[in-house]
Amino acid sequence: MQRGARRRAYNPVLLVLIAVVSVWFPRLVVEGGDTFPPEPEFSGRLVVSVNGKQRQAQVFGKGDRLRLEYKYAVRTERGFAAIEIIRPDYAEVWYVLPQQRELLVMPLAEDIIPTRPKLSGETTRTLIGPAMVADRPARLFDVQTERHGRGERFYEWVDEEMDIVLKLVSQDRDWSFQYERIRKSHQPAMYFEGPPGYKKRASSTR
């Protein structure tokens, strides 16, 4: 009888513990897993303008990594490439060369397409106000940078929801990029790796 009474006395405590675990465990699983990744993931259409010339590409983004699939292939020292993979974590850019089954590896340039709002060599940032880019609410900033002793100013539009750069325009030279269409969407990690069986070849201009 005493053992049964004890079991009945513990039941409310067990019920409270079960309730707490049932509330918090799913949150821990979501926060510790891949259901809602902390990095922005998106796809869109991009236009890059340099010295009066434009290049268009479909873009897939996952955090700082980008995959650009150009409308027209770009010329490299090893031939034409239609796919460019930007890997800031390696400080490299990879051009996919299907004929040679190679990845042409080049160092990350300063004029690379940025994802995060903070620019290379940024010194000051001033909020101008709200704006719209690619039908998405954004914040417009005036950003001052200094690289290799040379100052440069940019207008930068940052997506309100995803906190990524939607448009960037140099105020000192003919260089800019902007998204014409962009949406949040999960991107497989394989998009940002070299195709299986491809060998990496370092650029001769490194």
Q: How many Cα neighbours within 13 Å face the side chain of 174?
A: 6
| pLDDT confidence bin for 110, thresholds 50/70/90 | confident
What is residue 206's predicted lDDT score, i.e. its pLDDT?
Answer: 61
Q: What are the DSSP calls for 108-156, one per residue?
A: PPTTS---SSSPTTEEEEEEEEEEEETTEEEEEEEEEEEETTEEEEEEE
Task: Dump pLDDT digits (tens) for 182-196.
Answer: 999 999 999 999 999
| pLDDT confidence bin for 204, thresholds 50/70/90 | confident
| pLDDT confidence bin for 89, thresholds 50/70/90 | very high
